Amino acid sequence: MDPARFERKSAYEWHIRPFGKMRVPGVIFASEDLLREMDEKVHEQVVNVAMLPGIVKASWAMPDAHWGYGFSIGGVAAFDVDQGGVVSAGGVGFDISCGVRTLHTGLKVEDIDKVKHRLADELYRAIPAGMGSTGSIRLNDAEMDAMLKGGARWAVERGFGERADLERIEESGCMFGADPSQVSAQAKKRQKDEMGTLGSGNHYLEIQRVTDVHAPEIAAAFGIEQGDVLVSIHCGSRGLGHQIGTEFLKRMVIAAPSHGIVLPDRELACAPIGSMLGQEYLGAMRSAINCALANRQMLTHLTRKAFARILPGANLPLLYDVSHNTCKIEEHPFDGVLRRLYVHRKGATRAFGPHHPDIPEAFKEAGQPVLIGGSMGTASYILAGTDLGMGLAFGSACHGAGRAMSRHQALHRWSGRQVVDDLEMRGVLIRSPSMRGVAEEAPGAYKDVTAVVDAAEGAGLARKVARVQPLICIKG
């Protein structure tokens, strides 16, 4: 995009003044280089979101923003029910509550090196991955509803993990207000055999080493040191979340005229928060959040068992679990008043600052851990939320590197075998059921995650804590 189209507020903040039917400004957080590289659709989608009823303050895009369905991926917007605010299925996305959780291992790189290939093979056997992957866990109708209601708490009660895990998960592992009765039979059917699976696309399980510590005092609060080995799991609500998104988008498009809503784009289908349709979507969407939390909890359990078979002395406590495709009710000060807002984050991570009541006691002084996934074979980052960020975009930050080209383009540029061989030469072991999927997720298909993270820190959205590099990647 041409920077001349924006009003530059700082080195990392670019504004679109309201025009036409925009109710609030558009704001993109990015360096000038990242802004120039963004596709034109990001500008269009930021503008369109700014036209939705009840939006407050601004329509934002994070430094990793790229073209998405309705909202750009990396889009953030908050809506006030008292001002006719809406909830948008396109503002949450299809992979509801896709997110990242990171585990400590208590190990150093030298502990992994001697068993690296065995560990990679064992994790690949233990973690079902790939398109349509299914696991050994089967849920009947009653257990499905209990899982959708209870999230990670349900999983822990069924033996998939430890109670201490719940203290390190957003919402303490269970999203309040879930209503499994609003989840269709088809959505439940799709999920029945998919619990405890990674899925495909950009989902992964990585063994990582901490290469750099940027904020030692915060890293200490997070329990991180240079040379530590961590495990990160990136996945979401699988087929259930996708089905919910598909069904409610159709319903919202049809119902919009009856609510007096004129959509700037059909993909921004939405419903008034207080409407029956809006409440039904929220009940289903919260159920999908719980599904994702339960799924990552099950994967954590499978990972711990795999580690125990290769490295019996390893202990894998949870560092933190964050989601990045959600709509949540949060209280934020705006215009001098504490307001209850419905904050949509699509491909954006919650990044609450120090002393926020919704983050664990262990992180009160440091701020919330913000887990940023890179591309396969490149770095990932651990950040911390800031006080400044709370006032910028209601405590939000980027969620990953962000795609620089489509999967179709990546397929024409790389072969999966080439990517696997190149990465192994660099010390990164890839295990995947699909060479096509590996090619689609080639590191070169993504933006430079360091540039994205530097922009997030430069804008004040979050603070860099540590950089991690992959050693093993189980890829969907």
Residue 470's alpha-carbon distances to 116, 161, 383, in angstroms, are 12, 24, 17
Residue 203's alpha-carbon distances to 11, 159, 441, in angstroms, are 32, 24, 10
Average pLDDT over residues 14-22: 98
Mind giving me the DSSP string for 355-408?
Answer: T-TTS-GGGTTT--EEEEB--TTS-EEEEEE-HHHHHHSSSEE--B--BSS-HH
Quick one: which H or E segment has residue 27? Answer: strand 26-29
Output the pLDDT for position 334: 86
Output the pLDDT for position 360: 94
Output the pLDDT for position 95: 95
- Closest C-alpha to 302, from 288, 290, 316, 313: 316
CB 96 within 8 A of CB 236: yes
| Upper half-sphere CA count for residue 92 (Cβ side, 13 Å) | 33
Question: Scanning the structure block, which residue is given the tokens 């406590």?
Answer: 317
Residue 217 has pLDDT above 80, yes or no: yes
Identify the band that residue 84 occupies on the pLDDT scale cut at 50, 70 and 90: very high
214 flagged as catalytic: no
Identify the band that residue 304 occupies on the pLDDT scale cut at 50, 70 and 90: very high
Residue 134 has pLDDT above 80, yes or no: no
Ranking 127-136, 183-192, 273-282, 449-458 by mean pLDDT, the lowest is 127-136
Question: Scanning the structure block, which residue is given the tokens 């820190």?
Answer: 457
Output the pLDDT for position 376: 82
% the chain with pLDDT above 70: 100
- Closest C-alpha to 384, from 229, 233, 220, 228: 220
| Upper half-sphere CA count for residue 160 (Cβ side, 13 Å) | 23
Number of separate domains in the chain: 1
Question: Range of 229's domain?
Answer: 3-475
Task: State the average pLDDT for the chain.
Answer: 95
What CATH number did the domain enclosing 18 receive? Answer: 3.90.1860.10
Q: How far is 139 from 148, CA to CA, in rounded Å? A: 11
Output the pLDDT for position 404: 85
Residue 135 has pLDDT above 80, yes or no: no
Q: How far is 6 from 25, CA to CA, in rounded Å? A: 11
CA 362: distance to chain centroid? 22
% the chain with pLDDT above 90: 89
What are the phi and psi torsion angles at 123 (to 5°)? -65, -40
CB 233 within 8 A of CB 299: yes
Average pLDDT over residues 62-79: 96
Tokens representing 80?
């006030």
Average pLDDT over residues 36-49: 96
Output the pLDDT for position 240: 96
Tens digit of pLDDT for each residue in 309-346? 999 989 999 999 999 999 999 999 988 899 999 999 99
CA angle (150 as vertex; 163, 172 as ends), nearest 5:
50
Residue 476 has pLDDT above 90, yes or no: no
Q: Pairing mode, if any, of strands 462-475 and 429-431?
A: parallel
The CA dihedral of 224, 443, 75, 40, to the nearest 10 degrees, is 150
Please tell me which residue in 15, 242, 399, 412 is annotated as part of the active site.
399
Residue 202 has pLDDT above 90, yes or no: no
Tens digit of pLDDT for each residue in 359-403? 999 999 999 999 999 888 889 999 999 999 999 999 999 999 888
Q: How far is 198 from 238, CA to CA, in rounded Å? A: 8
Residue 132 has pLDDT above 90, yes or no: no
Q: How far is 107 from 114, CA to CA, in rounded Å? A: 12
DSSP 127: S
